[in-house]
Structure 1
Amino acid sequence: MASRGRVLVAMSGGVDSSVTAYLLKSQGYECAGATMRLACTRRLDEEGARTCCSLSDIEDAAATAARLGIPHRVIDLRPVFEREVVEKFVRTYRAGATPNPCIDCNRYLKFGALLDHALEEGFDYIATGHYARVECARGAWELRRGADAAKDQSYVLYSLTQERLAHVLLPLGGLGKEADVRRIAREQGLSSAEKPDSQGICFVGDDDFASFIERRDGRSLPEGDVLDRDGRVIGRHRGALRYTIGQRKGLGVAAAHPLYVTALDVEANTVTLGGVEDLMAGSLVAHDWIWSAPAARCEELMAAAGEDGAPVAAKIRYHQPDQEARMSLVDARAGAAGGVRIDFTRPQRGIAPGQAVVVYEGDTVLGGGCVTAVGGGR
């Protein structure tokens, strides 16, 4: 049987990427496995929490590739990872915003440096174990939600442009994790069949972001004032970066009603608390916008938007249900660097600068960007 194309499979050592490699080989693709060496190189038993990218994971990926009879390589992408993911994470956190390093890893590593490497090496495609679908419709590529709503990962893949989508295979997009993927892994005797999912951010490990930054800087975060909504001092904090918008627990302030973190001012080193009503916002502005859908479709959508904006479904968190909204351009820079305004039909809780907002038309991802401002509506 003639090969359907050469595929470089991003193999993390987990069950999803292992089954991805098995399925593509079974479908007639000429496969090779590749594992990225990033920043987390300690063995799992030295890390405690289950993260990805350890030496144990590299060994697991190599063993799975050998069992499947495909070649395997380790690609050292530590400089790119440090620059595009870790440094950006730290810089964003220091600014008091909420970074999403998984989105940056997909953008700059898996579907950036690794895809570039694959194309340079003569591969036709790169494949990953993400739960999303890439389909060709009306002569263009579409990124669509995974069939398993509980595992859908299209939110973290919005940076895939038409150029990138043309070289991406996501064979798990139509499958369920437990009912299909783990079952296939067991049937094929893959060692990753019962391997638990990775948790947390790989280069932090314990999810203690503030302590990670303290260790990186070699100094403790400065203490500062905790304020109420009127700017009155009601307590002290141990570093503003230890808090996130919407946080309720661990505030160290007694009150007759629930309090939440509603604002962080890194320059003034203050944390502001308020009620749940202070977390609600009706709109946001996002920049570093990337269109995943075909340019013609996006131009058509925005041209027909009118003064009220184009109707879309929007998400500001990974597993958030779709939120009815309207989208409009906020400046003249349409395209990757342009700004987009999202006005929600119902106010949203806890929108924070640095978060990603992703917009959909049905099951298709239109695009996404980074929240830069939060407002109260038109």
Structure 2
Amino acid sequence: MRVLAAMSGGVDSAVAAARAVDAGHEVVGVHLALSRMPGTLRTGSRGCCTIEDAMDARRVSNLLGIPFYVWDLSERFKEDVVDDFIAEYAAGRTPNPCMRCNEKIKFAALLDKAIALGFDAVATGHYATLVDGPNGRELHRASAWAKDQSYVLGVLTDQQLARCYFPLGDTPSKALIRAEAEDRGLQVAKKPDSHDICFIPDGDTRGWLSEHLQREPGEILDEAGEVIGTHDGALGYTVGQRRGLQLGRPALDGQPRYVLSIRPVSNQVVVGPKEQLGIGRIAGGRFSWAGEPGMNLSETFNCDVQIRAHADPVPARASLQPILPEERTELHRADATHEVVVDIDLDRAEPLLGVAPGQTAVLYVGTRVLGQFTIDRAVAAQSAAVSEVGA
């Protein structure tokens, strides 16, 4: 099998490429140049796809004896990931750029080019497992749940899964990968993992956004709609935030307030008590399925839902439903007609906290990734007075 190994310059992708070679495949290494500043340097665990990363990937390829190339996808990355990130914040949503990168770059642009060049599969260092099920290829969690990365792969389609190759999926720990890399003589064996958003390596998302979006002053409201303060730009706030609100008056009960929602059209930030952050229902569009679901999605089914890469899955019930006019919010995309609706099983789990429109929710049935959607609305889990967050 001809395999294109996507090599980030880190230890995971290096070992994945090495295992592909050991398996007898014809392997070619490729590093994706995503930064529009090719001289960008890496600082410890911050940033990725830097010039040092490209050099590390080349050294590994030389040691493995495989051809190595650098593909410049920086323009596509800017359009599909960076510009989307800015647009989502401008629309009042909190996006996940890693999901968009996997969807648009690593498993769309890269895979399309690999197929055009005659490769059979693309190998990456993701911790996830592929299983040939009764309805085609399925994406499952890795054996090491602590390192499982199936969440960020939830955007993959059945056509993409058919061309994916994840050699690390059955490895029970990252420590074993590092030990294997050291045994193989790979210099990246002790290289730290990347953290934060790769195109914001200093981690200051608010400062970065201020350079790309105009900040407009607006009102801060309580949950009853009363103006209790002002802000210098709604884009600087996130759902669940408590610090830095600078409100003009305290709550009547003296308890701290939290950001409950951001209203992009009116440029308002809504705050309230912590109890209002507990979410019992989420819904949204921009959905996709990781392989043939094998069920009628319009009928309610049991599943687990995960809303962050390192969050615990939560038992829930889900279905695909038409968007009702009275439930459409300003955060729904104008052309969306259906949404995935997920009700948290509050008999077995606590409400979700800190849910923000724009986040990605990934659905699991057992260990299998069923699919994903972008959250457009969330409903507070309160039996007496259910209020909608983000409306």
TM-score over 0.5 (shorter chain): yes
Correspondence for 2:309: 318
Correspondence for 2:237: 243
The change in CA–CA distance for 1:259 and 1:88 in structure 2 (over 3 A counts) is same
Correspondence for 1:270: 268
Correspondence for 2:117: 121
Q: Deviation per CA, 1:183-233, whole angstroms, max 9, x where unpaired? A: 10111111111100111111122232232222234x5x1333322222333
Q: 1:206-285 alignment to 2 at 5 Å?
A: 206-217=202-213, 219=214, 221-253=215-247, 255=250, 256-285=254-283
User: Aligned to 1:90, what secondary structure does the other structure show?
Assistant: helix
The answer to whether the 8 A contact 2:147-2:174 is kept is no
Alignment of 1:175 onto 2:179: no
Mapped to 2, the partners of 1:176 and 1:44 lie a distance apart of: 34
Shift of 1:136: 1.1
Correspondence for 1:368: 372
Correspondence for 1:62: 58
The amino acid that maps onto 1:288 is R
Mapped to 2, the partners of 1:49 and 1:60 lie a distance apart of: 14
Shift of 1:242: 0.8
The amino acid that maps onto 1:342 is V
2:295 to 293, 298, 303: 298
The change in CA–CA distance for 1:46 and 1:62 in structure 2 (over 3 A counts) is closer
Mapped to 1, the partners of 2:356 and 2:122 lie a distance apart of: 33
TM-score for the superposition, normalised by structure 2:
0.87
TM-score for the superposition, normalised by structure 1:
0.90
Shift of 1:176: 3.6
Q: 1:1-378 alignment to 2 at 5 Å?
A: 5-39=1-35, 41=37, 43=39, 45=41, 50-138=46-134, 140-217=136-213, 219=214, 221-253=215-247, 255=250, 256-295=254-293, 297-299=294-296, 302=297, 305=299, 309-331=300-322, 338-346=338-346, 347-376=351-380
Q: Deviation per CA, 1:25-71, whole angstroms, max 9, x where unpaired? A: 01111111111111264556576761111111111111111111111
Structure 1 stretch 244-253 or stretch 63-72: which is displaced more?
244-253
The answer to whether the 8 A contact 2:219-2:230 is kept is yes
Shift of 1:97: 0.7
User: Aligned to 2:295, what secondary structure does the other structure show?
Assistant: helix
Shift of 1:171: 0.8
Q: Deviation per CA, 1:335-354, whole angstroms, max 9, x where unpaired? A: x9842111111232222211
Shift of 1:366: 0.7
Mapped to 2, the partners of 1:194 and 1:41 lie a distance apart of: 26
The answer to whether the 8 A contact 1:298-1:366 is kept is no
C-alpha root-mean-square deviation of aligned residues, in Å? 2.1
Structure 1 stretch 367-376 or stretch 188-197: which is displaced more?
367-376
Shift of 1:73: 0.7
User: Aligned to 1:298, what secondary structure does the other structure show?
Assistant: coil
Shift of 1:245: 0.4
The answer to whether the 8 A contact 1:145-1:363 is kept is yes
User: Aligned to 2:322, what secondary structure does the other structure show?
Assistant: coil
The amino acid that maps onto 2:17 is A
Long gaps (5+) in structure 2: 324-335, 387-391
User: Aligned to 1:67, what secondary structure does the other structure show?
Assistant: helix
Mapped to 2, the partners of 1:46 and 1:153 lie a distance apart of: 23
Shift of 1:156: 0.9
Shift of 1:162: 1.4
User: Aligned to 2:156, what secondary structure does the other structure show?
Assistant: coil
The amino acid that maps onto 1:60 is D
Long gaps (5+) in structure 1: none
Structure 1 stretch 312-321 or stretch 189-198: which is displaced more?
312-321
The change in CA–CA distance for 1:117 and 1:248 in structure 2 (over 3 A counts) is same
User: Aligned to 2:107, what secondary structure does the other structure show?
Assistant: helix
The change in CA–CA distance for 1:243 and 1:49 in structure 2 (over 3 A counts) is farther
Shift of 1:74: 0.8
Mapped to 1, the partners of 2:307 and 2:42 lie a distance apart of: 34
The amino acid that maps onto 2:279 is A
Mapped to 1, the partners of 2:31 and 2:95 lie a distance apart of: 24
The amino acid that maps onto 1:320 is A
Mapped to 1, the partners of 2:227 and 2:92 lie a distance apart of: 19
Percent identical pairs in the alignment equals 40
The answer to whether the 8 A contact 2:4-2:28 is kept is yes
Shift of 1:375: 2.4
Mapped to 1, the partners of 2:138 and 2:120 lie a distance apart of: 18
User: Aligned to 1:159, what secondary structure does the other structure show?
Assistant: coil
Shift of 1:376: 4.4
Mapped to 1, the partners of 2:204 and 2:224 lie a distance apart of: 30
Correspondence for 2:327: none
The amino acid that maps onto 2:137 is W
Mapped to 2, the partners of 1:10 and 1:101 lie a distance apart of: 18
User: Aligned to 1:116, what secondary structure does the other structure show?
Assistant: helix
The answer to whether the 8 A contact 2:277-2:380 is kept is no
